A and B are shown apart, each in its own frame.
Chain A
């Protein structure tokens, strides 16, 4: 039996753990559903209004749901000494961070993507808009997980860590939010969404290239 790559080993471990602690995956989903569902109740059922705000609301709720769960990415491992071992391991810490981010996305991000058609229904979106919403979230949620991971690494172990994480991470997520939501608006107006998706993809690639490295550096700092 040869060694599996460490990023896959740690991702699989996190997925196993999450599976056994059901609440992990359900909490972001529940938040997403509840928060997005509140808007039609709050602003009234007027279809045009809902169609206008729908994309933005869904994206913001996805953003908040994803960031809610990211605080735990490193905190639990930090508490029982696992993080220490990971930082000391001979392998690449960047690979470990990527593995944990992948697990976070699979647990907290991908379900949001899968639930988005239901959200689209809440806001009366057309089929084309729904597709653009879903695909946009598919490309955008990994970026959110990567950014969240950086925030979690930077704020590890700090009091008021969750609030601080939001303050740091939310500005960085603004481009993704804007392009994702405006893609849906463009689709609703019948315009091309190519530019939006190119930009979303570019943001993802940029994040993949730089953020895991920054997160690993932040983890080393946190453990000092």
Chain B
């Protein structure tokens, strides 16, 4: 719902006080969503896949940005590796590399980002999120696992998605 894909049955979703359905292209640029699925195509190389996602986001120099982002997440040597040859953890990191594509402040919605990540990767991801927060971005994520941050507000939801 927050990503604007489904309409809420009650209430409204507002971004900077503007209802989501009225968001124009410019405002949509400031919202980014990494879903449960990685959106990396099996048939492409990691580099190609991430470059494509960078282009979708409307960023310039997509290939350079993708290369830089992958280096940041220690995936640089897999630039030419087809996505289907990567492990689940590496694919997840590849998907999360989108966070490192540019420095513009955004609202990031992450659905189960820690899925399939090992401890070292989780630590790396935590550092990346801190970096984004420092740039003025907001990060909203869901997780079944415990999150290694202590200084962020946490919301615990009951079974049906309502506040308990």
Given A1-B61, A224-B7, residue A85 in contact with residue B40 (CB < 8 A): no
Given the complex, which residues of B lie within 8 Å of A84, measured CB to CB? 5, 33, 35, 37, 39
Tell me which of A3-11, A143-151, A152-160, A205-213 binds B: A3-11
Contact A3 B48, CB 8 Å, known A81-B37, A81-B38: no
| Shortest CB distance B67–A (Å) | 12
Q: Does A88 contact B (CB under 8 A)?
A: yes
Chain B, residues 15-35, CB within 8 Å of chain A (1/0): the string is: 000000000011011010101
Contact between chains at B56 and A85 (CB < 8 Å): yes
Judge whether B35 and A81 touch: CB under 8 Å: yes
Cross-chain contact A223 with B41 (CB below 8 angstroms): no
Across the interface, A82 reaches (CB within 8 A) one of B6, B26, B41, B61, namely B41
Contact: B60 with A80, CB < 8 Å? no
B53-67 interface mask toward A, CB cutoff 8 Å, 1 = contact, 0 = none?
101111111111000
- Tell me the complex Cα distance, A9–B58, Å: 11
- Distance (whole angstroms) from the CB of A153 to the closest CB of chain B: 15
A6 touches B35 (CB 8 A): no
Contact of A80 among B5, B25, B31, B37 (CB under 8 A): B37
A88, B28: Cβ atoms under 8 Å? yes
Q: Are B25 and A87 in contact (CB under 8 A)?
A: no
Residues of B within 8 A of A20 (CB): 43
Q: Does the CB pair A17–B44 fall under 8 Å?
A: yes
Residue tally, chain B, CB below 8 Å to A: 34
Which DSSP category, helix, strand, loop or mixed, fits chain B's interface?
loop
**B42 contacts the other chain (CB 8 A):** yes
- Judging by beta carbons under 8 Å apart, are B7 and A16 in contact? no
Q: Check B79 for interface membership: any CB of A closer than 8 A.
A: no
- Bound Cα distance A87, B28 (Å): 11
Question: In this assembly, does A57 line the interface, its C-beta being within 8 Å of a C-beta of chain B?
Answer: no
Find out whether the CB atom of B61 lies under 8 angstroms from the CB atom of A88: no
In the complex, chain A residues whose CB is within 8 Å of the CB of B7: 224
Q: With A13-B44, A17-B43, A88-B5 given, is the CB distance from A81 to B56 under 8 Å?
A: no
Question: Interface 1/0s, chain A 1-33, versus B by CB < 8 A?
Answer: 111101001100100110011000000000000
Bound Cα distance A9, B53 (Å): 10
Interface string of A187-223 (1 = CB under 8 A from B): 0000000000000000000000000000000000001
**Chain A residues closer than 8 Å to B38, beta-carbon distance:** 80-81
8 Å CB contact of A85 from B31, B39, B62, B63: B39
B4 at the interface (CB under 8 A from A): yes
Contact of A175 with B by CB under 8 A: no
Are A82 and B64 in touch, CB under 8 angstroms? no
CA distance A16 to B83 in the complex (A): 14
> Which B102-141 residues sit within 8 Å CB-CB of chain A?
none
A80/B56 contact (C-beta < 8 A), A88-B3, A91-B25, A224-B5 known: no
A224–B28 CB distance below 8 A: no
Minimum-distance CB pairs A-B, first 5: A81-B37, A81-B39, A90-B29, A89-B56, A90-B28
7 CB contacts below 8 A, A to B, read A77-B41, A80-B41, A81-B35, A85-B39, A88-B5, A88-B28, A90-B29
* Chain B residues within CB distance 8 Å of chain A: 3-7, 25-26, 28-29, 31, 33, 35-44, 48, 52-53, 55-64
User: What residues of chain A have their CB less than 8 Å away from a CB belonging to chain B?
Assistant: 1-4, 6, 9-10, 13, 16-17, 20-21, 76-77, 80-82, 84-92, 223-224
